[in-house]
Amino acid sequence: MTDPRLEALRQAAPDLRLKTDPADCEHYGRDWTRRWTPAPLAIALPGSVEEVQIAVRWANEHGIALVPSGGRTGLSGGAVAANGELVLSLERMNRVLDFNAIDRTLTVQPGIPLEAAQNAAREHGLFYPVDFAARGSCSIGGNIATNAGGIRVIRYGNTREWIAGLKLVTGTGELLELNRGLIKNSSGYDLRHLVIASEGTLGVVVEATLRLTDPPPPTNVMLLALPSFDVLMKVFAAFRERLQLEAFEFFTDRALHHVLAHGAQQPFDQVYPYYVVTEFAIGDEAQEAAAMAAFEACMENGWVGDGVISQSDAQAAQLWRLREGITESLARYKPYKNDVSVRISVMPMFLEETQALLGQAYPQFDVVWFGHIGDGNLHINVLKPDDVSDADFVGQCEQVTKLLAASLAKYQGSISAEHGIGLVKKGYLESTRSAEEIAVMRGIKRVLDPNGLMNPGKVFD
């Protein structure tokens, strides 16, 4: 390692691991978008809060940008390092620091994978409810950076609801302890919530205190086949009215096609255009009867063509695989991802308009729809054909995103429901946030990161 700046960092923090290998730069410089060519200066793997502070102060001294990095499963380019940045990987800071049975909190380092935090909660007889398919590889720090949502938001809310406190090393290297695990705290601005969803642009999350809850009730999983799109929200209403829903997810026949090609099992003899996976509590006989009543009401109305209910944990997992396997099954097509949301009440109109819009705009691409329909969150994935270059493909998709952004502005929706803005959606931030709001966000960033070194170019320029 000959770069004198890196030598200075090594001297300031002898135990900080530094990597400059091209393979490491490639590995740590990208996320799941795979759209940008990684080109970081180096990778630093701190083992302590103090080492993070040293790295941030060093970055200010040398004018080097920092990219905080968790599991890099992000889908918006928020963890991409393509401009000579120092990647600060939190993967060594991956421990549970404390469990408090009375407060029902788990204090963790940011690099802990979501699944490890879930398991730690379970070992104490409690439950950390944020959950999604990348649970094994994403990290709590990354979840906080994007206010990650997932498949149980309908019942438990986003990551934001479960962060009782966090510690942040700001862009100048100060350590802030935010909210300290309090439930009630009416003492001025809640800076914790500013950090959540800030995508590493205000500082580095170095510790988080997670709120835990009671384990969920026994549940059943049901897969429903729908004959048309316009019944989707009616089916949702019928189930929500009768049941305590833990999840309500939807996907199209194209999504099913790709998941089956990836090894999942065909659920029905016949192919239907739309599917729903729903999970709901079955604590007692009344709830079981309510589930059947919801299903029968949908069948009678012609809203559902077929259905299957899980009879075992293994079958529940099999049904979930049809939904949770979608992202992985599409990865080889380098999908252009849209992650949009509107209020549930306007979802029927938004869905109708979006379907018409995309039907005209993407005639030649395979477009795969799925998502957390019960939260008003739709994932529209456009798959790149092999014979279209990356640049042409993204260019064409961006034209459509402009139309989608205009529709979102009309319905007061969001261009990013849960993946974050990162690099992918920053050109569309104004469809969701007013110019005045963005100006305030810039002002906040200037206070916490006056030299603009924290994940620059992400969220806004």
Indicate the residue among 16 and 148 with the shorter CB distance to ligand MLT. Answer: 148
Give me the half-sphere count of Cα atoms (radius 13 Å) on the Cβ side of residue 154.
Answer: 25
**Which residue number has the CB closest to ligand MLT?**
327
Q: How far apart are the first and last CA of the chain?
A: 31
> Which CB sits closer to ligand MLT, 133 or 290?
133
Name every residue whose Cβ is closer than 8 Å to that of residue 254 and which is 6 or more positions away in sequence: 366, 367, 368, 369
Cα 73 to the center of its chain, rounded Å: 9
User: Rounded to whole angstroms, how far apart are CA atoms 204 and 57?
Assistant: 12
Residue for token pair 């077929």 = 306
Q: Which is nearer to ligand MLT, 42 or 400 (CB)?
A: 400
How much helix, strand and coil, in percent to the nearest 5, is found in the chain? 40, 20, 40
Q: Is the Cβ of residue 133 or residue 166 nearer to ligand MLT in the bound state? A: 133
Pairwise CA distance, residues 90 & 112, whole Å? 9
How far, in Å, are 67, 156, 249, 454, 455 from residue 199 at the CA level? 10, 22, 26, 9, 8
* CB of 66 or CB of 373, closer to ligand MLT: 373
Work out how close the CB of 349 gets to ligand MLT at its nearest, in angstroms, rounded to a whole number: 22
- Kindly tell me which of 253 and 288 has the beta carbon lying closer to ligand MLT: 253
Nearer to ligand MLT by Cβ, of 6 and 75: the residue is 75
Alpha-carbon distance values, 257 to 251, 336, 356, 361, 370 (Å): 10, 18, 22, 22, 12
Binding region for ligand MLT (CB under 6 A): 75, 132-133, 326-327, 379
Burial 199-218 (b: 16+ CB within 10 A, else e): bbbbbbbbbbbbbbeeeeee
Residue 177 CB, nearest approach to ligand MLT (Å): 31
Q: Cβ neighbours of residue 371 under 8 Å, at least 6 residues apart?
A: 249, 250, 251, 377, 378, 379
**Sign, CA torsion 444/450/456/461:** positive
Q: Choose between 159 and 209: whose C-beta lies nearer to ligand MLT.
A: 159
Within 8 A by CB and 6+ apart from 358, the residues are 367, 380, 400, 404
CB 337, min distance to ligand MLT, A? 6
Side chain identity, residue 257: H
